Amino acid sequence: MSAISTKHLISIKELSTADIETIFNTADNFKEVINRPIKKVPSLRDITIANIFFENSTRTRLSFELAEKRLSADVINFSASGSSVSKGETLIDTVKNILAMKVDMVVMRHANAGACEFLSRNIDAKVINAGDGAHEHPTQALLDAFSIREKYGKVEGLKVAIIGDILHSRVALSNIFCLQKLGAEVMVCGPTTLMPKFIGELGVKVSHNVREALEWCDVANVLRIQLERQATRYFPSLREYTLHFGINRQLLEAVGRDITIMHPGPINRGVELNSDVADSSQSIILNQVENGVAIRMAALYLLAN
> Minimum CB separation from ligand CP for residue 46, in Å?
28
- Cα 15 to Cα 6: distance, rounded to the nearest angstrom: 7
Q: How far is CA 231 from CA 20, 132, 167, 227, in A?
A: 35, 18, 13, 8
Element containing residue 29 per DSSP (H, E): helix 17-34
Q: Which is nearer to ligand CP, 22 or 60 (CB)?
A: 60
State how far Cα 50 lies from the chain centre.
Answer: 19
* 264 binds ligand CP, rule: CB under 6 A: yes
The only residue of 13, 94, 238, 265 in contact with ligand CP, by rule CB under 6 A: 265
- Termini Cα distance of the chain: 9
- Give the SS3 label for residue 259: coil
> Minimum CB separation from ligand CP for residue 166, in Å?
16
The only residue of 59, 69, 208, 211 in contact with ligand CP, by rule CB under 6 A: 59
In this structure, are residues 289 and 90 in contact, taking their beta carbons and an 8 Å threshold?
no
Segment near ligand CP (CB under 6 A), from 51-59, 121-129, 174-182, 189-197?
Answer: 51-59
> Minimum CB separation from ligand CP for residue 222, in Å?
12
- Give the SS3 label for residue 77: strand
Q: Which is nearer to ligand CP, 203 or 266 (CB)?
A: 266
> Minimum CB separation from ligand CP for residue 255, in Å?
26
Residues within the interface to ligand CP (CB under 6 A): 57-60, 131, 137, 140, 264-266
